[in-house]
């Protein structure tokens, strides 16, 4: 909690303007003004938020297998669907960010590590309906619920993989997928996060963006983020407090930005 508090204070004191004022990089200014602040399809957002509301009203208790760092909200392996939807699903604010990033960068294929109940996958799929969202969920009963929701919502550009990241990610990579966007969530330990990032950086193209969730969740995640910023292929990183954006653009001087969102 102390780390998150100090990081939040530092973030708000040092973050650049959310409208792009004072940002001298044309690439980052364009990202802020044209992509991050772009409008979303209100019908898509409304339908996703209706799906979230239904999940938050679901009182069923399911078995959950957690392969990550564990939860600060839950203990044990039995959880209410409503609690998972309330505390673990991406918020509307950051879901809309994923929608916009997918619309701009997610052409072709999108990879998501950590489906949970599927809200973030819906935002990614809605932002780029012509792309295939490859999403991985290691907890079997959660994967079943997510698959059912995708079916009920009539979403046909999401491919859900039931298995661990270690099992499934190499399969996706070896299939020849070239992701435009990658969203890394579902594991908040430094070593695995860096491992997944290295694997995905190997197949990242000049236009690829990797989005990391909860970069200030813990000491481990903060340290992982700091190492990723120094990666030899990374050109630009953007700290949005909760999420971190990583770009591999050639010809752009390396720089790390903190932007208010």
Query: How confident is the model at residue 197, as a pLDDT?
Result: 98
| Residue 211: pLDDT over 80 | yes
pLDDT at residue 21 tops 60: no
pLDDT given for residue 23 in this prediction: 81
- Measured CA to CA in angstroms, residue 254 lies from 65, 145, 181, 236, 249 at distances of 39, 42, 20, 6, 9
Residue 131's alpha-carbon distances to 86, 134, 141, 260, 261, in angstroms, are 28, 10, 26, 29, 26
Residues forming beta bridges with residue 162, ordered by sequence position? 137
CATH of domain 2-50+91-258: 3.40.50.150
pLDDT digits (tens, 9 = 90+) for 25-78: 899 999 999 999 899 999 999 999 999 999 999 999 999 988 765 555 655 689
* CA 40 – CA 25 distance, rounded (Å): 25
pLDDT tops 90 at residue 109: yes
In DSSP terms, which residues pair with 212 in a beta bridge? 184, 244
| Confidence bin at 202 (pLDDT 50/70/90) | very high
Question: What is residue 15's predicted lDDT score, i.e. its pLDDT?
Answer: 61
Q: What is the pLDDT of residue 20?
A: 55
What is the average per-residue pLDDT within 19-23?
Answer: 61
- Percent of the chain past pLDDT 90, that is, above it, reads 80
CA separation for the pair 113, 188 (Å, rounded): 11
80 forms bridges with which residues in the sheet? 61
3-class DSSP state for residue 144?
A: helix
How many whole angstroms separate alpha carbon 62 and alpha carbon 73? 16
Mean pLDDT of the chain: 91
Token duo for residue 191? 């070593």
Give 11's pLDDT tier (boundaries 50, 70, 90): low
User: 2: pLDDT confidence band, cut at 50, 70 and 90?
Assistant: low
Diameter of the chain by CA atoms? 52
- Pairing relationship of beta strands 158-162 and 132-137 according to DSSP bridges: parallel
Look at the block and give the residue holding tokens 């290691």: 138
d(CA 152, CA 148): 6
Q: CB of 147 within 8 A of CB of 172?
A: no
Cβ proximity of 94 and 40 under 8 Å: no
Task: Supply the DSSP string of 208-249, one letter for each residue.
Answer: -EEEES-TTSSHHHHHHHHHHHT-TT--EEEE-SS-EEEE--
Structure tokens at 186: 């579902």
Spatial distance between the Cα atoms of 44 and 82, rounded to a whole number of angstroms: 22
């Amino acid at each position: 909690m102390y780390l998150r508090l100090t990081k939040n204070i530092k973030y708000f004191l040092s973050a650049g303007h959310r409208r792009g004022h004072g940002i001298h990089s044309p690439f980052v200014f364009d990202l802020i003004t044209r992509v991050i602040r772009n409008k979303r399809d209100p019908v898509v957002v409304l339908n996703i938020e209706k799906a979230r509301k239904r999940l938050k009203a679901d009182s069923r208790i399911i078995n959950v297998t957690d392969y990550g760092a564990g939860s600060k909200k839950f203990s044990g392996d039995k959880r209410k669907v409503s609690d998972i939807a309330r505390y673990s699903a991406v918020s509307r604010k950051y879901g809309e960010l994923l929608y916009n990033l997918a619309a701009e960068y997610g052409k072709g294929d999108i990879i998501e590590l950590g489906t949970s109940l599927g809200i973030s996958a819906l935002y990614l799929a809605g932002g780029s309906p012509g792309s295939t969202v490859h999403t991985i969920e290691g907890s079997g009963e959660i994967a079943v619920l997510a698959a059912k929701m995708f079916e009920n919502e009539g979403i046909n550009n999401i491919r859900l993989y039931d298995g661990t990241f270690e099992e499934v990610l190499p399969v996706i990579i070896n299939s020849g997928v070239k992701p435009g966007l990658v969203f890394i969530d579902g594991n908040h330990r430094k070593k695995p996060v860096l491992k997944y990032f290295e694997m995905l950086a190997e197949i990242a193209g000049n236009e690829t963006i990797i989005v990391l969730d909860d970069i200030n969740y813990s000491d481990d995640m903060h340290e992982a983020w700091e190492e990723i910023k120094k990666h030899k292929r990374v050109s630009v990183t953007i700290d949005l407090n909760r999420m971190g954006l990583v770009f591999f653009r050639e010809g752009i001087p390396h720089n790390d930005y903190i932007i208010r969102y």
